[in-house]
Amino acid sequence: MSTATMTLFHNTASPFVRKVLVFLHETGQLDRVALETVALSPTSPNAAVIANNPAGKIPALRLADGALLHDSRVIVDYIDHQHVGEPLIPRDGASRWRRLTLASLADALLDAALLIRYETFSRPQEKHWADWLDGQQAKIIRALGEFEEAASAELASRFDVASIGVACALGYLDFRQPNLAWREQFPQLAAWYAEVSQRPSMLATQPPV
């Protein structure tokens, strides 16, 4: 019998959903959540998601009492408060702000990658705006540069909110921009990612092929 008391609006292609799933895996709470798979984009929103999150975005998490949480930052914070192990988001001190800032940069990379995806996939070809696409891609490359600096010490030190965010961001780049060849330019990040992508939580949550 299922022990799930919460419902996660879910799609295997979503890197933001993946962060939540990795948190659930890493904190041993996967069986508490039922997955409701939805398909959506800004131009074809999903009615069930909108009813639960006016922004029309996933992830959204319905709790046992019916309360709704979004977005991924709020949800992973909630999940981190529901287990007794070492927190994956440091509760205080300088490390809290540094780890959350690295996690925020991973989210910014994902926002840029997702905007590129929507621009190139959903928008008619004649309406594509090259300068705007270049600006988004530049954000991605700058973020990768900062992660390269952080890879061998900061990211490698623990698999927490920062590392999970960066790992899911890299997984999404491989999924949507397979020709980017970021590994050559950022070798320490590549070595770190090769290791963490073998964790059971990462293997179990890979994007579709």
Ligand X SMILES: N[C@@H](CCC(=O)N[C@@H](CS)C(=O)NCC(=O)O)C(=O)O
Give the binding site for ligand X (CB under 6 A): 14-16, 40-42, 45, 56-59, 71-73, 107, 114
Please, what is the minimum distance in Å from the beta carbon of residue 11 to ligand X?
7
In the bound state with ligand X, the residue whose beta carbon lies nearer, of 123 and 185, is: 123
Q: Measured from the CB atom, is 59 or 171 closer to ligand X?
A: 59
Residue with structure tokens 């690295």? Answer: 102
d(CA 207, CA 22): 12
Quick one: DSSP state of residue 27?
Answer: T
Nearer Cβ to ligand X (9/186): 9
Q: Shortest gap between Cβ of 12 and ligand X (angstroms)?
A: 11
Sign of the C-alpha dihedral computed for residues 86, 83, 57 and 31 taken in this order: positive
For residue 44, give the 3-state DSSP assignment.
Answer: strand
Measured from the CB atom, the residue of 52 and 201 that comes closer to ligand X is 52
Distance CA 99, CA 205 (A): 22
- In the complex, least distance from residue 9 CB atom to ligand X, rounded to whole angstroms: 9
